[in-house]
Amino acid sequence: MKKLIALLLLGTTFWLSAEAQVSDFLQRSQVHGSFQVDGQFYRPDEALGITDSLINGRKIGLNGFGNIIYSLGKFSAGIRYEAYLTPIAGFDPLLDGSGFPNMWASYNDDRFSITVGSFYEQFGNGLVLRTYEEWSLGYDNSINGIRVTYEPVKGVIFKGVYGTQRFFWDKYEKNDRGIVRGLDGEFNFNDMFSSFENSKIRLILGGSMVSKYQIDANPIYNLPENVASFAGRAIIGFGKFNISTEYAYKINDPSAVNNYIYKEGQAFIASASYSTKGLGLFAQFKRIDNFSFKSDRDVTVNALDISYLPAITEAHTYALTSMYPYATQPNGEIGFQLQLNYKVPKKSRLGGKYGMGIAVNYAQVNDIDHQQVNDTTFVNQRGTLGYKSDFFKFSDHVFYSDLNIEIDKKFNRKWKGIFQYIYQTYDIATIEGHPGEPIVKSHIFVADITHKFTTKQSLRGELQGLWTKEDMGNWTAILLEYTVSPHWFVSLTDQWNYGNPIVEDQIHYFSASFGYTRKATRVQFTYGRQREGIVCVGGVCRQVPASSGLSFTITTNF
């Protein structure tokens, strides 16, 4: 009898527990994901030089992806589908195709995690390792391999990565590209030592080591098969001051990007800021010397980057302000930027009822100093040590400079505006590789005014002008955008190259857009002309050809 009761009890608890585990399993299982499709229908447009033969039957460009992430407690896994059928104009033709480029599984404990498959990682500022994905550029340098992170005590994190990088749709095959290996450690002194916990000084130190292995199959040169790089970083805070710095060193790594020179590489970034209520000051210095680091030394396209070399110039967003965007020169540059952010207080004479925001930024980037290594070798000669360079010396060659003043002000409940003035110099010969073209000096002005009719309806207008004697001459742009929160928008824009020295190139780039958003789903259509230009996000840029026709984006998330 006792036995029977015990058995019943056991049976019931097992049943309960199994039931609970199943429902618990279902309850704790989560599936999330997102989808996006960007498409473009092209039409011939004689004024832009787009003819039927150029389109060549490829009337539709379509980029799409789907992402699914499954998680159950400490376990998660993901899969990503991508299709470029055919890639939208301006994306690398190597993207043509479809499939599952990215699959991963991960176990994440409080102190320990392991990921297998494709993953994204960044050590420090990314100088020696950053893998990331940027849909708008068609860029993905994810590592396919293994990543482990370990936190032995509070405030200390170690990371290790091992694998090969994505190169469009090419699956890794033996020796067709390098293998990347990396280790990183970060030490937060305020977390590690209890005596430091309430200190006014905050200190974080970190160090990384990344190496790539690629066989040497070069018939002429004897190339290093293992290229090691090292980086050290510090973040120091005291009160309202914050200092962040990182230095990276790489052994000689002759490559197609640096013209196969045997020089070692260096990268250095230092920034300091002061932040208090209503005021922020910022200064940054950067030097890059022969620091392109790719997992295939023979590749020059935007792919397989191990290092990430951020541009330190302001990322402009208005149409004409982003006409001449700067991109880091991995073979060498030295520069600085200074920034002020200030909020004129509310109820002051200048600030008015709502206050007024002021932002000023100046950035300049020059070429580094180059000296011959000896009398018989010219600078950057293939197969030599390349050049010598003084670390802190700015050469006279200015790649880019940018003075930017922005004011934002709310006048009353109905009206507000943003006003921006920029003076820019842009060495188009170096940055875009058009030898012989003069430096483009431009003045740019933007007024962005918003008028609220009701709490839900508003009209926004932009008026922009770009004045330059070089390149394509003067531009003006106008935009009108009507929004009904939270669902609808419709906008009209025209960019007009009225100052082009070639009269038939004084083209209007007219377009109309319409969009609908509901929760995390957004549908947008644009019809009209798109001007030739460069789209940059982060440190990577993409050349976009002029196009004409209908484009759309559908994006959703669940």
Partner 1 sequence: MKKLIIASIFSLITLFSFSQSSDKNTNLPSINIKTLDGQTFNTQNITNDGKPVIISFWALWCKPCKKELDAFNENIEDWQDETGVKIFAISIDDSRSTAKVMPFVSGKDWEFDVLLDPNGDFKRAMNVNMIPHTFLLDGDGKIVYQHTSYYEGGEFDLYELVKKVANGEDIKVKH
Side chain identity at 395, as an amino acid letter?
Answer: S
Binding piece for partner 1, criterion CB under 8 A, among 17-25, 47-55, 296-304, 435-443: 17-25
Give kind and range of the element (H or E) at residue 256: none
Binding test (CB under 8 A) with partner 1, winner from 93, 278, 438, 501: 278
Give kind and range of the element (H or E) at residue 503: none
Residue 198 binds partner 1 (CB under 8 A): no
- 496 to 62, 86, 230, 309, 318: CA distances (angstroms): 28, 30, 49, 34, 15
Region 371-410 residues binding partner 1, contact defined as CB under 8 A: none
Binding test (CB under 8 A) with partner 1, winner from 296, 539, 541, 548: 539
- 555 to 91, 315, 358, 518: CA distances (angstroms): 19, 24, 34, 11
- The nearest distance, CB 70 to partner 1, in angstroms, is 12
CB–CB of 6/54 below 8 Å?
Answer: no
Please, which residue, 135 or 247, has the CB nearer to partner 1? 135
- The nearest distance, CB 538 to partner 1, in angstroms, is 5
Residue 122 binds partner 1 (CB under 8 A): yes
CB-side neighbour CA atoms (13 Å) of 3: 0
Residue 281 binds partner 1 (CB under 8 A): yes
Through-space distance between the first and last CA atoms of the chain, rounded to whole angstroms: 54
Binding test (CB under 8 A) with partner 1, winner from 91, 260, 308, 399: 308
Query: Cα–Cα distance between 503 and 486 in angstroms, integer?
Result: 43
Binding piece for partner 1, criterion CB under 8 A, among 87-95, 378-386, 472-480, 486-494: 486-494
CB–CB of 198/227 below 8 Å?
Answer: no
Size of the site for partner 1 (CB under 8 A): 102
Residue 135 binds partner 1 (CB under 8 A): yes
Q: H/E/C letters for each residue in 347-398? A: CECCCECCCEEEEEEEEEEEEECCECCCCCCCCCCCCCCCCECCCCCEEEEE
Residue 33 binds partner 1 (CB under 8 A): yes
Residue 107 binds partner 1 (CB under 8 A): no
Closest listed residue to residue 135, CA positions, set 258, 230, 231, 34: 34
- The nearest distance, CB 488 to partner 1, in angstroms, is 8
CB-side neighbour CA atoms (13 Å) of 473: 11
Binding test (CB under 8 A) with partner 1, winner from 86, 242, 259, 372: 242
Residue 350 binds partner 1 (CB under 8 A): no
Binding piece for partner 1, criterion CB under 8 A, among 88-96, 289-297, 396-404, 517-525: 517-525
Please, which residue, 474 or 483, has the CB nearer to partner 1? 483
Binding piece for partner 1, criterion CB under 8 A, among 47-55, 81-89, 429-437, 483-491: 483-491
Binding test (CB under 8 A) with partner 1, winner from 99, 218, 520, 543: 520
Please, which residue, 429 or 523, has the CB nearer to partner 1? 523
- The nearest distance, CB 215 to partner 1, in angstroms, is 30
Query: What are 23's two structure tokens?
Result: 């429902």
Please, which residue, 245 or 389, has the CB nearer to partner 1? 245
Residue 424 binds partner 1 (CB under 8 A): no
- 155 to 54, 109, 188, 206, 243: CA distances (angstroms): 58, 16, 5, 11, 19
Length of the chain: 558
Region 46-105 residues binding partner 1, contact defined as CB under 8 A: 67, 69, 71, 73, 76
CA 47, 53, 59, 62 dihedral sign is negative
Beta strands 201-213 and 143-150: pairing type? unpaired
- The nearest distance, CB 67 to partner 1, in angstroms, is 6
Binding test (CB under 8 A) with partner 1, winner from 20, 215, 301, 350: 20
